[in-house]
Structure 1
C-alpha cells in the first residue's frame, strides 16, 4: 500500500513543484484526504501529516529540498514541539531528546525535530516576535531511534510512535522554521497559508471522511434494520429527519471551509503571506468542520445501536478513530475563543 501511495504522489500534494511536488490547491488537498479517510482514517492521517511535513520544502534551500525529495518514496516525519533545546555549533546544531506523536515515522526516510536553540552563551535564540523560536531540524531517519509507544483506542494504524536523538548533528542547511511565513522561499498562493492553517485543513479532511463513511453506512443499515418493537429504520420519521440534518450540517461545514480556502487561495499575493484576520478565517472553518464531523459521527454511532459495538462493523473502528482525532490540538474548542477575539477587534502579535 505504501508503494501505491507514493506512486500516486499522494505524499507530494503540498510539496513545491520546484522540489518535485504537485503543489495542489487547498481544496484539492482537502478532497484527497477526505476520500482516503472514507476508506481508512489511519492512512489518511499519515498522508496529511506527511504532506504537512513536506511544507518545509517551501522554506529550506531549493537544492536541499530537491535532495530530500529526490527519492520517489521520500517521507519526512516529526513530532510536535516540546521544551528540548538544540545547541548552536559551528555549521549547524547538536540535538538530543525525545519527541512523541510522530505519525508515519515507521515509513519515514527523514526525521525532524522541533527545538529551541541554545546559543553559545547559554541564552535562547529569539524569533522576530521577541520570543524563543522553534527550529525544525532534519536528518536521515537512520539517525533517530524509534520507540514503540503508540497504543491507543483509535488511529492505531498511524504508528504515531516516539523517537530520540542522541547528539545528532544537523547542518544549518537542513534546518528551518515555520513560525514566520514571511520567510518562505516559495511565494505561490499555496504558501501564503501558514503551516498551522494547512495542517488544520488536513485534520478537517480526515474528520469529514470518517463522518461521511459512517453516515453512508447508517443509510445502508437503515434500509434493512428494524429495531425490536419498531419498524424499519428507514421508515422512521425521526431517523429520516436526523439523517437529513446530519447531511445538511456536514455539507454546509464542508462548503464553508472550501469557500474560505478557495477565496483566500485566489486572492493570495506573492508579496506577503495572508494576514492574521485571514488566518483566523481558516482556523474557524477548520474548527467548525472538525466539530461538525465529530457530532455527525456521534449521531451515527448512537443510531446504529448494537450494530456499532462489534469489531469489524462500519461504525466501531471509525468511532474510535474519530474520538482519537477529537483529542488532537486541532480539535480544541479554544480555537473559537482565539478567532472570536480577532473578530471582535483583538490584534494578537502572533496567530498561526
Structure 2
C-alpha cells in the first residue's frame, strides 16, 4: 500500500517521552492509587506524549521503529508507577489490533491524538449478525482503563443460524471497535495490586457495530510496515515482562535507599550490614541485567526479521515467549525476596516495597505471561508445532 499523508506528527523516542512522565507519575502516585485510575494530571501528560499511540503507524502518531525502545519505556514508567506503565502497555495492544482495520476505519478510530483505548481479548460477549454489521451485547471483566478510554476493542463470539452458539470447534470470534458512549462501566475494581489501572467490568447491550469495525486475526493488514509485521502475542508478553522488570528496579532502588537512610551511630549492625540485604541487592542487580538483556535480544531478533519481511520461525517466537515468562517470574521472585529481607519495613506504605510487592503479583496474573507459554516455547525447541492460539499472531 502507498504511504499515507501524516495526520499526526510521529512521536519522539518512547524512552525520552517516558522520562518526561516519570517525575509526574511519582508525584501523583497516591492520587492514582486513591482514585483507582490514572491521576488527571498524569493522564493529560500521557496524552500529550503520544505514549498511548506507540502501536500505531507513524501517520497516526505511532512509533513504527525498534520495539526494544517501547520495552525500555514500559520498564522506566513501571519503576515510577506500575499502573501508568500498565495503561500505556494496554493501549499499545489496542492500537496494534487496529492493524486489521481497513485504512478508512483506522483513520476514524485513531484520528484523535487525545483518545485513549481499552480492550479485552476474552470472548465474553455475543455478536449477532444483522444487516450491515452486528448487534453486540456482553459483560467483560478486567477492562483496564475503561473509565478514561474513548474507544474499546472487545472480543465476542459471533452467532447466526449456521454458526455455533458456544465456544469450541467451529466458533467464530471477532474483535469489535466500539465508542465509549455505548459502554457502561460497572465499579468492580476494589483490589490491592495495580489499583490505579481502573480495571473495572464493562457492559454492552444491543449495540450496533458496522461490518468495517469488526476484525479478526486473519483479517488483512492494511498498512504494511515492519512494525505492523511484528507478532502481537509475544510482543505483548515482552511488554508485560518489562513492567515486571521495572518493578524489580523500583524495589531494588528502594532497598538501597533504605540502606543509606537507616545508618545509625553505635555498635549495632545497620540494615546495610546484614548479609541477607547484601545478597538480595546483588542478586537483584544481576537478575535485572541478565533478564533484561535476554528479553531485549530476543525481541531485537524479531525486529530484524520484520524489517526484512521474513517469516518468523517458531524457535524465534519461542525465544521471546520464554524470555518474557522467565524475566517476569524471576522479577516477582526477587521482589518477594526483597520484601522478606527488608523485615517489618516492608509492611509500611511509606516504603515503596510494600506497593511494588502488591503490584508485581497483580502484573503476573495476566494470561499473556502464564507458565503454559513456556510449554509452548518448549514444544518449538523439541521440534513440535506449538498449539497456543496467540503463539504466532
Instruction: With the length of structure 2 as denominator, give the TM-score of the two structures.
Output: 0.82
Find the counterpart in structure 2 of residue 176 from structure 1. Answer: 215
- CA shift for structure 1 position 200: 1.0
Find the counterpart in structure 1 of residue 62 from structure 2. Answer: 21
Residue deviations 1:196-236, cap 9 Å, x none? 22221221121111110110111111224369995123234
Find the counterpart in structure 2 of residue 44 from structure 1. Answer: 85
Kindly report which structure 2 residues correspond to 1:288-303, keeping only aligned pairs within 5 A, or say none.
288-303=326-341
- Conservation of the 8 A alpha-carbon contact between 1:100 and 1:163: yes
- Conservation of the 8 A alpha-carbon contact between 2:193 and 2:359: yes
> How far, CA to CA, are the matches of 2:189 and 2:167 in structure 1?
33
Find the counterpart in structure 1 of residue 300 from structure 2. Answer: 262
Residue 185 in structure 1 maps to residue 222 in structure 2: yes
Match of 2:343 among 301, 305, 319: 305
Residue 211 in structure 1 maps to residue 211 in structure 2: no
Residue 150 in structure 1 maps to residue 150 in structure 2: no
In the TM superposition, structure 1's runs of 4+ consecutive aligned residues that sit over 6 Å from their partners are: 124-127, 226-229
- Conservation of the 8 A alpha-carbon contact between 1:42 and 1:157: yes
Match of 2:364 among 303, 326, 339: 326
> How far, CA to CA, are the matches of 1:267 and 1:203 in structure 2?
22
- Conservation of the 8 A alpha-carbon contact between 1:95 and 1:165: yes
- Which range moves more in the overlay, 316-325 or 331-340? 331-340
> How far, CA to CA, are the matches of 1:63 and 1:98 in structure 2?
29
Find the counterpart in structure 1 of residue 71 from structure 2. Answer: 30
> How far, CA to CA, are the matches of 1:202 and 1:218 in structure 2?
25
> How far, CA to CA, are the matches of 1:187 and 1:201 in structure 2?
22
Residue 197 in structure 1 maps to residue 234 in structure 2: yes
- CA shift for structure 1 position 281: 1.6
- CA shift for structure 1 position 118: 1.3
- CA shift for structure 1 position 168: 0.6
> How far, CA to CA, are the matches of 1:34 and 1:71 in structure 2?
26
Find the counterpart in structure 2 of residue 165 from structure 1. Answer: 204
> How far, CA to CA, are the matches of 1:246 and 1:261 in structure 2?
22
- CA shift for structure 1 position 316: 0.9
- CA shift for structure 1 position 323: 1.2
- CA shift for structure 1 position 148: 0.6
Find the counterpart in structure 1 of residue 16 from structure 2. Answer: none
- CA shift for structure 1 position 61: 1.0
Change (3 A) 1:80 1:230: farther
- Which range moves more in the overlay, 9-18 or 238-247? 238-247
> How far, CA to CA, are the matches of 1:84 and 1:226 in structure 2?
57
- Conservation of the 8 A alpha-carbon contact between 1:20 and 1:66: no
Where does the alignment leave 5 or more consecutive residues of structure 1 unmatched?
none
- Conservation of the 8 A alpha-carbon contact between 1:15 and 1:54: yes
- Conservation of the 8 A alpha-carbon contact between 1:192 and 1:270: no
Count of residues in correspondence between the two structures: 348
